[in-house]
């Protein structure tokens, strides 16, 4: 463990000790608690070989979720592969924003998640609204395969459907809630990303053109045939993009955009109602 922590630390991994522990727990096929319940447990030869191989992959900055195949989001366990964006705690801001609307009486029946990836936003929402159903779209068939497996594993497959397409392409019905975490990183910012992101996550889920806002423009060009009048739009945005995306949604006919901050205090979510 000590040696592994040092290897990861030297490779520039941010939370070297935590990641070494999580890799060890994964090799033991258990949760992190195993390291405290059985502090003296030794690795078998096979386990040691597996542990060393995984530490080497993590040292090459492959994300932990790609090694374990899982990532938690909204306290649900999601399968993750290199075909999908890793679910991030920042995105839970969108779920919280919708739940604040629920507290004011909003009860969505039909939810559309544009660019669903792992399905984390749609499935977390459907777990909160058991009477609702929804559709997740994605331009990547391998991503949809991951989303479908997540729906099955979380026993939400009866509420969730998935379709291949660019945003709402081919979707003919209207929804009362549309949610999206589109790619929004400006292309020139690639060099500022951690290697875990820039080298291992799908670029089609990260980059949103020169100013990062291309996908919002594409989504807003389609939104009137996807969202019911009075319906709610909830978008994840990148750093300092909230007022810019707020302006785009107002220009597209939405009223009173609200901004919600993530756990780091960054405005991460733009939420607005479509005018009636
Ligand atoms: N939040 C991600 C990151 O900064 C980007 C996700 C996205 O573009 N939607 O790495």
Contact present, 274 and 233 (Cβ < 8 Å):
yes
138 labeled binding residue? yes
Query: What's the confidence (pLDDT) of residue 185?
Result: 98
Does residue 184 have a known ligand-binding role?
yes
Give the model's pLDDT for residue 2. Answer: 75
Structure confidence at residue 276 (pLDDT): 83
Nearest CA to ligand 1 atom 6: 206
Nearest by Cα to 226 from 137, 143, 127: 137
Ligand 1, CB within 6 Å, residue ranges: 85, 88, 90, 181-185, 197, 206, 236
Residue nearest to atom 2 of ligand 1 (CA): 206
Instruction: Please classify residue 130 by burial: count the beta carbons closer than 10 Å to its beta carbon, then call 0-12 exposed, 13-18 middle and 19+ buried.
Output: exposed
Distance 183 CA to ligand 1 centre (A): 7
**Which position has the token pair 């996550």?**
201
| Protein residue whose Cα sits closest to atom 5 of ligand 1 | 206
CA–centroid distance, residue 206 to ligand 1 (Å): 6
Query: C-alpha angle with apex 179: 195 to 173, nearest 5 degrees?
Result: 135
- Going along the chain from its start, the domains and CATH numbers come out as 2-60 (no CATH), 70-274 (3.40.50.150)
What distance separates the 2 farthest-apart alpha carbons in the chain? 66
Q: Has 46 been labeled as part of a binding site?
A: no
Find residue 273's DSSP bridge partners.
232, 255
- Would you say the pTM of this structure is higher than 0.90? yes
Residues of the chain where predicted confidence (pLDDT) is lower than 50: none
């Amino acid at each position: 463990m000590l040696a592994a922590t040092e290897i990861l630390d030297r490779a520039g991994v941010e939370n070297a000790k935590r990641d070494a522990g999580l890799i060890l727990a994964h090799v033991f096929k258990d949760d992190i608690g195993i390291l405290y319940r059985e502090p003296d447990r030794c690795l078998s030869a096979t386990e040691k070989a597996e542990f060393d191989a995984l530490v080497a992959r993590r040292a090459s900055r492959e994300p932990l979720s790609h090694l374990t195949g899982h990532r938690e989001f909204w306290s649900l366990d999601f399968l993750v592969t290199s075909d999908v964006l890793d679910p991030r705690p920042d995105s839970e801001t969108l779920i919280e924003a919708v739940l604040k609307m629920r507290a004011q009486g909003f009860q969505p029946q039909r939810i559309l998640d544009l660019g669903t990836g792992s399905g984390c936003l749609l499935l977390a929402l459907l777990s909160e609204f058991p009477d609702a159903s929804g559709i997740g779209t994605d331009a990547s068939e391998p991503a949809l395969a991951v989303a479908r497996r997540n729906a099955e594993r979380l026993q939400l497959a009866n509420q969730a459907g998935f379709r291949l397409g660019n945003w709402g392409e081919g979707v003919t019905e209207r929804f009362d809630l549309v949610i999206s975490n589109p790619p929004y990183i400006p292309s020139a910012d690639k060099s500022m990303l951690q290697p875990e992101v820039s080298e291992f996550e799908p670029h089609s889920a990260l980059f949103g053109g020169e100013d990062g806002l291309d996908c919002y423009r594409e989504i807003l060009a389609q939104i009137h045939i996807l969202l019911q009048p009075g319906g709610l739009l909830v978008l994840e945005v990148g750093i300092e993009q909230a007022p810019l995306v707020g302006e785009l949604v107002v220009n597209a006919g939405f009223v009173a955009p609200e901004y919600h901050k993530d756990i780091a205090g960054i405005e991460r979510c733009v939420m607005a109602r479509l005018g009636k």
